[in-house]
Amino acid sequence: MKNKSKSLSIIDTGLTVDGTISSTGKLIIKGKALGTIIGETVIVAVDGEVSADIKAEHISIAGKFDGQIRASGQLGILATGNCSGKVVCNTLTVDAGGILNAQVTCIQVEDSSSGAGEDADEPALSGNEGG
pLDDT interval class at 131 (50, 70, 90): very low
**Domain coverage including residue 19:** 8-120
Cα–Cα dist 25/40, whole Å = 6
Cα–Cα dist 74/41, whole Å = 10
Task: Answer whether residue 129 is part of any domain.
Answer: no
Residue type, 65: F
Q: Which tens digits make up the pLDDT trace of 73-108?
A: 999 999 999 999 999 999 999 999 999 999 999 987
Task: Answer whether residue 127 is part of any domain.
Answer: no
Task: Answer whether residue 102 is part of any domain.
Answer: yes
**52 within 8 A of 59, measured Cβ to Cβ:** no
Average pLDDT of the chain is 85
Give the pLDDT confidence score for residue 115 in this predicted structure: 47
Give the pLDDT confidence score for residue 108 in this predicted structure: 79
CA atoms within 13 A on the CB side of 28: 11
Task: Answer whether residue 130 is part of any domain.
Answer: no
**35 within 8 A of 19, measured Cβ to Cβ:** yes
- Region 48-62: what's the mean pLDDT? 97
List the single range of 38-42, 56-60, 71-75, 124-128 with lowest mean pLDDT. 124-128
Residues 6+ apart with CB under 8 A from 126: none
Q: Which tens digits make up the pLDDT trace of 22-47?
A: 999 999 999 999 999 999 999 999 99
CA-wise closest residue to 13 among 58, 49, 60: 49
Q: What angle do CA 84, 87, 90 make, to 5 degrees?
A: 140
Give the pLDDT confidence score for residue 124 in this predicted structure: 38
User: How many folded domains does the chain comprise?
Assistant: 1
Percent of the chain with pLDDT over 70: 79
Task: Answer whether residue 14 is part of any domain.
Answer: yes
